[in-house]
Amino acid sequence: MNNKELISNVASKMNLPKNEVKYLLEAFTETFRNQLKEDNSIGFQGFGSFEIRKKEERLSVHPLTKVRTMIPPKLVVSFKQSSVLKDKLNVKF
Amino acid sequence: MSNAKLSASEIVELMVKDRMITKKSAEEFVKVFFSVIEDALKDGETVKIKGLGTFKSQWNEARKSVNVNTGEEIVIDGYYKAVFIPENDLRELINEPFSHLEPVELNPLSDNLPEQMQDDAEEDEPENFSEPLEPLRVFGEQAEEIKELLSEINSFSTPKVRSNDTVTENESSQLPDPDEKTEEEITLENTPMDKPESVSEVAEIISAPETLHTPEHTGNKETEFNFDGFDIVREISTRFGLPAGAAAVALINEESDQLPAEAESETESNISEVLPEEIPENTVAAEKHEIDDREAEDDNDDDEKQEKFEEIDDDDETDENEADDETDEESDEDEADDETDEDEQLIPEDDTEAEDGDDNDEDTDETVVELPEVVTQTDEEAAETIEADNTAAKEKSVEPLVAVKNARSETYKKKIVSTNASSSHKRRRHYHVEEKKKRPVWLYTLLGIAALGLVFFGAFYFVKNILDKQKDAMYMEYLADSTVRALNTKEVLDSMTPAGDSIATTDTVAVKASDESVQTVISEAPAAGNIFDAPRNYTELITTEKMVAGSQLTKFARKYYGHPHFWVYIYEANREAIKDPNNVPLGINIKIPKLDARLADPASRECLNYALKLQSEYLK
């Protein structure tokens, strides 16, 4: 499901025109990104939580060339699903 | 930077802020948004959101674990996990604080390490520098070896061409001289006094250009040399009506430098009454030619000479004595017999030489093939002429001495021819022995390789035939077991095929039927072993589903098989109705086939992987 399909799906469920939903989605993503950038963690109940995690620097050694490479630290977005979502995904038929 | 933990409501508030959005719509949107994603994830779909990333449902395999408290082994069931993969854009945005950092190929853990690394680098450099040198040296040595080998090979191969060229050149340049001289000498030949001289001179002249090359070249060239010599013999003999023997003497003289010379000297010594002056000249001339070959051949030549002259010279001498006496016919006949015997003995040798020569180049072939002809001709001619001369000599017994001397000198030439022929044969045999010694190394290796290849090919085809027969036998057993009826009808129909076309078609139908049954039998057999390799028959259906807006094969797969990946089997069952699995037409009824539990086990990674493999095939 790509962006368009998502918008149309949401629009059909909300009974809103697609361009409006599109505007809403853009507003949401912008906010979402900004907040994540601010190092805020964002939790959506029943779905999961997003947060920024710092991956520490590490030393990687190439197994063949034995070249040691220093991997610098980095910040990544991590998503953790909520237990509710997990249960929903793993409903036994 | 704040480390606040924001909730959906806070996000909504921030969303609404500074935007023309009502809080209500924003709240609803967020709710619906996540519910849509949730639904999609439930169906095993991936949701791609621009500016954020991709949500997808990931199957985590069941795994064994240990209960931390009790130490019991427990199995954690496989489960679906919603995962989020941020877009590159988002990733870069988030990582902005560290974006300037890049992986470094050094060890920056301590300050000493870079120095060590530098040292290492410095140490590495000379190593890298010195290492290529040794291989280069090795390469240089190898190159030299290869050069040597090449030069050796060239020395074997190129001289043939070179010798040909040079010989022909020398022939072209030198031949006129011998021709002229022989003309002169032939004019003088009427007097027996000059004959030996002319013979020896011809030998000198013709051997002169070729002796230039003899030291340089090997057996091959010498056979060519023989060839040239005999050609010249023919030329001379045909042009000037000179008995072939006379020319042959000259030419064979060069071949067997020593023998003819000594033969001449001996025979001349026999005729020394007539030719006392020539002896030293001839022997000197002969010795000159012999210098190269003499050392190597002296012993052999002496032996050969002694043997031959024991055999032949006895005859010759007696012959000459007889010619002098101009009496006994019997001894002449004996001599002729002896010579024919020699011919008989020689011819097989030539044959063997020809056989040997077959392995050689065309040049040597020609020489070897032609040589026996020439030699036998000369020998036969010699024998005939000897008889004729002897008889002539007998008839002319009353005639003047000059004629007798003519005859005598002619006969003596013939004998020399015969002796020389035999000696040249022996010599040639000797050369061939040398050639044989040189050839085998590479020749036999090549032959051996070829033989090995043939053996392997033979073995391969033999084994293959056996296997094919076995396969056929197995196939026939299959046929017999599974399609006895079909076969029977086929046989019956086969026997009736001449009847008409309709029967022929039924025949083919029967054959097809039998083939199909065989196929099903074969295809069912491995089903027990590997469920994935077996062809799938979608005869039994669980139910049918109608495609409506929003319904998807993956949803059906998830609903009926427990995992969206198994949509491929629904697609397979509905191949006729669905042309493009990405674009299933609405309103059609989708057959949901009953699947083997081993094939569509959502807990089995094997099943999922196989389904994914099929998916990648169908979504090309």
Tens of pLDDT along B395-421? Answer: 444 444 444 444 444 444 444 444 444
Task: Give the chain B residue whose CA is nearest to the CA of A16.
Answer: B25
Q: Report which of B248, B242, B156, B163 is spatially closest to residue B203, judged by C-alpha positions.
A: B248
What average pLDDT does the structure give for chain B? 60
CB-nearest to A6 from B47, B53, B91 is: B47
Residues of chain B contacting residue A42, judged by C-beta atoms under 8 Å apart: 5-7, 11
The ipTM, to two decimals, is 0.90
User: B358-393: per-residue pLDDT in tens?
Assistant: 444 444 334 333 444 444 444 444 444 444 444 444
C-beta atoms of B103 and A69 within 8 A? yes
C-beta atoms of A28 and B105 within 8 A? no
Count of domains observed in chain B: 4
Q: Report which of B90, B120, B280 is spatially closest to residue B196, judged by C-alpha positions.
A: B280
For B456, the token pair is 């392997």
Is residue B75 within 8 A of residue B64, CB to CB? The reply is yes
Same-domain check for residues B491 and B564: no
C-beta atoms of A13 and B35 within 8 A? yes
The label of the residue with tokens 């995904």 reads A89
User: B467-505: per-residue pLDDT in tens?
Assistant: 877 776 776 666 555 544 444 444 444 444 444 444 444
Q: State the smallest CA–CA distance between residue B26 and chain A in angstroms.
A: 7
DSSP letters for chain A: --HHHHHHHHHHHHT--HHHHHHHHHHHHHHHHHHHHTT-EEEETTTEEEEEEEEPPEEEE-TTT--EEEEPPEEEEEEEE-HHHHHHHT---
pTM of the model: 0.33
Same-domain check for residues B434 and B474: no
Residues of chain A contacting residue B6, judged by C-beta atoms under 8 Å apart: 35, 40-43
Position B163 in a domain: no
Q: Report which of B244, B408, B393 is spatially closest to residue B316, judged by C-alpha positions.
A: B408
Position B512 in a domain: yes
Does B29 score more than 70 pLDDT?
Answer: yes
Same-domain check for residues B403 and B512: no
Same-domain check for residues B491 and B389: no
Q: State the smallest CA–CA distance between residue A78 and chain B in angstroms.
A: 7
CB-nearest to A85 from B11, B38, B101 is: B38
Q: What is the CATH number of the domain that holds B66?
A: 4.10.520.10
Pairing of strands B5-7, A41-44: parallel
Same-domain check for residues B432 and B323: yes
Same-domain check for residues B294 and B400: yes
Q: Three-state SS across B131-174?
A: HHHHHHHHHHHHHHHHHHHHHHHHHHHHHHHHHHHHHHHHHHHH
pLDDT attached to residue B513: 46
Cβ partners under 8 Å of residue B593, min gap 6: B536, B538, B539, B540, B541, B542, B569, B570, B572, B573
CB-nearest to A85 from B50, B82, B98 is: B82
Distance CA B467, CA B290 (A): 68
Position B586 in a domain: yes
Surface-to-core class of residue B176, CB atoms within 10 Å of its CB (0-12 exposed, 13-18 middle, 19+ buried): exposed
Residue A88 — pLDDT band, cuts 50, 70, 90? confident
Kindly report the CA angle at B31 between B25 and B32, in degrees rounded to 5?
85
pLDDT attached to residue B388: 46
3-class DSSP state for residue B110? coil
Same-domain check for residues B356 and B417: yes
The label of the residue with tokens 């030549």 reads B301
Residue A4 — pLDDT band, cuts 50, 70, 90? confident
Position B448 in a domain: no
Task: Give the chain A residue whose CA is nearest to the CA of B25.
Answer: A24
Same-domain check for residues B348 and B241: yes
Q: What range does the domain containing B570 cover? A: 541-618
User: B204-222: per-residue pLDDT in tens?
Assistant: 444 444 444 444 444 444 4
pLDDT attached to residue B288: 44
Same-domain check for residues B546 and B520: no
Task: Give the chain A residue whose CA is nearest to the CA of B84.
Answer: A79
Query: Which residue out of B2, B17, B32, B113 would a mutagenesis test of the A interface target, given it has the greatest number of A Cβ atoms within 10 Å?
Result: B32
pLDDT attached to residue B475: 64
Inter-chain CB pairs, A–B, below 8 Å = 183
3-class DSSP state for residue B326? coil
Q: Which of B505, B529, B553 is the last residue of a domain?
A: B529
Residues B427-432: what's their mean pLDDT?
49
Same-domain check for residues B342 and B424: yes
User: B546-590: per-residue pLDDT in tens?
Assistant: 787 777 778 888 888 888 888 888 888 888 888 777 777 778 888
Percent of chain B at pLDDT exceeding 70: 38
Residues A35-46: what's their mean pLDDT?
87
Same-domain check for residues B193 and B326: yes
pLDDT attached to residue B612: 82
Same-domain check for residues B223 and B322: yes
CB-nearest to B52 from A29, A45, A81 is: A29
Residue B138 — pLDDT band, cuts 50, 70, 90? low
Percent of chain B at pLDDT exceeding 90: 1
Cα A73 to the center of its chain, rounded Å: 20
Does A49 score more than 70 pLDDT?
Answer: yes
CB-nearest to A73 from B46, B82, B98 is: B98
Is residue B108 within 8 A of residue B115, CB to CB? The reply is no
pLDDT attached to residue A93: 56
Query: Which residue out of A16, A47, A53 would a mutagenesis test of the B interface target, given it has the greatest number of B Cβ atoms within 10 Å?
Result: A47
CB-nearest to B5 from A28, A41, A72 is: A41
